[in-house]
Structures are given as C-alpha cells and as structure tokens.
Amino acid sequence: MKYSKATNYALHTMLYFMMAPAGKTIGVQPLAELQEISPTYLSKILTKLVKAGMIESTPGVNGGYTLLVPKEDVSFLRVIQAIEGNASLLHCDLGHVSAGCLIQETMAAAEQSMEQYLQEKKLVDLLQNFDQEHPQEHVARIMAAFH
C-alpha cells in the first residue's frame, strides 16, 4: 500500500505555491526543474489539480498556473484526493450472505481516522520555519520562478 509518486509531486508543487505571493503565476518548466522531473509528465498531474479547482491555468505567452484558493484552504487531503481519487482503501466483493462486510467497515473507519488528520493539516503550516531551515539561495531560486 503506497501513494503514487504523482501524489508526492503534487504535494511539492502545491507547497511551492504556498511560498509565492498570491496571484503570481509559474510555468510548468520551472516547476519541473525544481523537482527534476519531466515537464510533460508534471503537466498531466497539474491538470488534475486544475480539475479539482485548486489552481488555474492560463495559456499563451507568460502563461502558467496560479493558485485559485486561499492558502489556508489547501489541506493535504484535498491534494491527495485530487490525484488518487476518493476510492476506499479496501473493497470487499466476497459473497457475504446477509449484512455487509465487517472487515470493510472497519477498514473504512481506519481510513477515516487518517483522512481527518490529513484534512486538518494544511500545507501552509509547513512553512513556519522554512526560511530558517533552508539556505537563502534555495528560497530565492523558488521565488524567482514566479512572475
């Protein structure tokens, strides 16, 4: 049981948006370079975030992606579900004679316990001490990518 790499990329990308001043735009290429992955692949991930309503894409020259919601509204859960979907952890299709599958119900409850944690945790919370913990040059390079 593992989350896909795409989820990791999406979370990191959204974290970059948390660092930028509101309304700023950034292209796929600088985002891809920061994470050292292919721009075309990252674009596929970003379209999922667009469909989830978290960011906006503007085509054309000087285009790119812009954060569309308040930073405080971006929870881990929201990003994860945008990529992974909201299917349940374990779906039991065995022929249970009567009543539902108790195992499935228990797993659903366990999943909900984790989702509650991920819903309360906002991405912007991670930036509390970011400046102190990371070299200034690195932070500057991220900020410079926005326009």
Partner DNA sequence: GTAGGGATACTCGGATAATGGGTGTCCGAGTTGACAAGG
Partner DNA sequence: CCTTGTCAACTCGGACACCCATTATCCGAGTATCCCTAC
Other CB atoms closer than 10 Å to residue 25's CB: what's the count?
17
65 binds, among its own copies, DNA, none (CB under 5 to 8 A by kind): DNA
89 binds, among its own copies, DNA, none (CB under 5 to 8 A by kind): its own copies
| CA angle (83, 86, 91) in 5-degree steps | 125
Interface with DNA includes 27 (CB under 7 A)? yes
Nearer to its own copies, 63 or 114 (CB): 114
Interface with DNA includes 141 (CB under 7 A)? no
Using N-to-C axis directions, what is the helix angle for 5-19 and 28-35, rounded to 10°? 110
Q: Can you tell me which residue has the tokens 């004679």? A: 97
Q: Which DSSP helix (H) or strand (E) runs through 111? A: helix 102-120
Least spacing, CB of residue 20 vs its own copies, in Å: 17
Nearer to its own copies, 44 or 91 (CB): 91
Contacts (CB under 8 A) with its own copies, residues 63-102? 76, 80, 84, 87, 89-92, 94-95, 97-99, 102
CB of 11 within 8 A of CB of 46?
no
